Amino acid sequence: MPRRALALAVVLALAGCGEEDGRPSAQQPQLPRALAATCARLAAESRVPALCPPPAARDPSGPRDRRLEVVHEDLDPDPCAYVVNVQQPDHDLAGARPAHVVLGGSCAGLPLGRPGTRWAVDPLASLRAVATPPLQSGQTPDQVTLRRPVVLRRLRVRGQPGMLLQFDARPPGGLHGGHVGLAWNEGGHGYLLSVHYATAPERRRPRADEVAALQRFAATLAPTRG
C-alpha cells in the first residue's frame, strides 16, 4: 500500500476509536460542585479516608433531568463506612456519561471474590452492594434471596488488587442496580465505586470502553481533607 494511502487508513482508524458498536465511547461523569462539600463533611466525620474526585469548577450544563445531583450525602452514617449517592433526576436518560454514581468506603477491607461467582461479602459490610429485595405479601426475611453482584474478573484498581463487579438489574439490584463497579482495598480500607451507563439492556456485560472509563474515574479519586 502506498505510504500516503497507509497514512490515511491509520487516520480513519483512529477517528473511529471514539465509538464502540456505533455508540459514543463511555465518558467521565460531570459531577456537581456540591459533591466537594459532601466529601469535606465525610472527611471530618468518618474514620475511613474519603476518596473523592477533584472538586468541579462549575455545575454540569445541559437539561436538568440529565444533571447529576447529590441525592444522599451518606446512606450509611456510620463512622466506619460511607455511601454517597449521586444521580440525575431521570435515571433512564443514560448515555455516554453515567446517570448514577455511587462512592463508598469502609474502615475494614473488602474480600476479593473469585471470577464467575457471586460476591461472598457480609451484606452489612458490603457498602450496599448486596441488595435485599422488598418483602412480598406473606414473606419473612429468611425467605428473601439476597441479590449479590457477580465478580466478572480480577483487575488492578489504583495500583491495588481489585474486582470488576456487575450488579443485577433494577429494581432487585438495589442501590447499585444495573451498575458496573470496582471494589478494592487501599491503605487497609475497603472501597467501592459503581456507575450506571446505558439502561438497555441492564443485564449485558459492560463494554471495554465502559470499564476503561470507570478505571480512569477511580484513578482521579484522592483522600479529601476535612
Which amino acid is it at 157? V
Q: pLDDT tens-digit profile of 177-208?
A: 999 999 999 999 999 999 998 766 777 899 99
Q: What is the pLDDT of residue 7?
A: 39
Closest CA to 215 of 157, 163, 152, 149: 157
Ordered by start, the domain boundaries in the chain are 25-133+145-223
CA distances from 141 to 77, 134, 136, 177 (A): 23, 9, 10, 20
CA distances from 99 to 10, 69, 139, 185 (A): 34, 10, 33, 25
Euclidean distance between CA atoms 144 and 126, whole angstroms: 17
DSSP type of residue 54: P
Does pLDDT of 1 surpass 60?
Answer: no
Backbone angles phi, psi at 28, to 5 degrees: -75, 150
Closest CA to 28 of 98, 108, 83, 110: 98
Q: How far is CA 160 from the centre of its chain?
A: 17
Q: pLDDT tens-digit profile of 131-176?
A: 976 656 665 656 567 899 999 999 999 999 999 999 998 877 889 9
Euclidean distance between CA atoms 183 and 190, whole angstroms: 7
Residues in CB range of 169: below 8 A, 6 or more apart: 177, 178, 201, 202, 203
Its CATH architecture, for the domain 25-133+145-223, is: 3-Layer(aba) Sandwich (3.40)
Q: pLDDT tens-digit profile of 56-102?
A: 988 888 888 889 999 999 998 789 999 999 999 887 777 789 999 99
Could you tell me if 88 and 164 are in contact, meaning their C-beta atoms sit under 8 angstroms apart? no
Within 10 Å of residue 17's Cβ, how many Cβ atoms? 9
120 CB-contact burial (10 Å; exposed 0-12 / middle 13-18 / buried 19+): exposed
Euclidean distance between CA atoms 161 and 36, whole angstroms: 27
User: For the whole model, what pTM was predicted?
Assistant: 0.85
Euclidean distance between CA atoms 190 and 81, whole angstroms: 9
